């Protein structure tokens, strides 16, 4: 059982480049989340989805976009990368909103 998988594990971008962070879960969870974790700052919610076709902004959505065309996949898009987006990005999923969140291993992104 793979759980939540994220690709890539590491990426370096130049300012202004774009990229998509992939997230897939095989647990048939309805809820999926994207967080960023900066040193000493805990986890901040970027976007979340309560089911296929439905997405909502979290605390720090600016500079990011998401889509949820299937239950399994929840990609995060950076259109114009900025140094402020240097962070570790975690995807998570839950069966219901109050259940355990299962996290992926993270993507470490550096924007230079």
Partner 1 sequence: TQLLEQSPQFLSIQEGENLTVYCNSSSVFSSLQWYRQEPGEGPVLLVTVVTGGEVKKLKRLTFQFGDARKDSSLHITAAQPGDTGLYLCAGRSGNTPLVFGKGTRLSVIA
DSSP, residue by residue, 66-103: E--SSSSB--EEESS--GGG-EEEEEEEESSTTSPPEE
**In this structure, what is the dihedral angle of CA atoms 112, 22, 65, 82, given to the nearest 10 degrees?**
0
Query: Nearer Cβ to partner 1, position 26 or 59?
Result: 59
Q: Sheet containing 64-66: which strands, arranged edge to edge?
A: 4-7, 19-25, 76-78, 64-66
- Binding to partner 1 (CB under 8 A) within 52-111 occurs at 58-59, 90, 92, 97-98, 100-101, 103-106
What minimum distance in Å lies between the beta carbon of 39 and partner 1? 10
What minimum distance in Å lies between the beta carbon of 45 and partner 1? 5
What minimum distance in Å lies between the beta carbon of 86 and partner 1? 17
Query: Nearer Cβ to partner 1, position 48 or 71?
Result: 48
Q: How many CA atoms lie within 13 A of 16 on its CB side?
A: 0
- Binding to partner 1 (CB under 8 A) within 20-59 occurs at 33, 35, 40-45, 48, 58-59
Q: Are 79 and 17 within 8 A, CB to CB?
A: no
Query: Nearer Cβ to partner 1, position 4 or 13?
Result: 4
Positions touching partner 1 (CB under 8 A) are: 4, 33, 35, 40-45, 48, 58-59, 90, 92, 97-98, 100-101, 103-106
């Amino acid at each position: 059982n793979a759980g939540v998988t994220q690709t890539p594990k590491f990426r370096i971008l130049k300012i202004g480049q774009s990229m998509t962070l992939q997230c897939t879960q095989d647990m048939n969870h309805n809820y999926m989340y994207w967080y960023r974790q900066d040193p000493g700052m805990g986890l901040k919610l970027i976007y979340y989805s309560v089911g296929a076709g439905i997405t909502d902004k979290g605390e720090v959505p600016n500079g990011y976009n998401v889509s949820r065309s299937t239950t399994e996949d929840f990609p995060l898009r950076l259109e114009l990368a900025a140094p402020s987006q240097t962070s570790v990005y975690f995807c998570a999923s839950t069966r219901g909103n109050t259940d355990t969140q299962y996290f992926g291993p993270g993507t470490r992104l550096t924007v230079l």
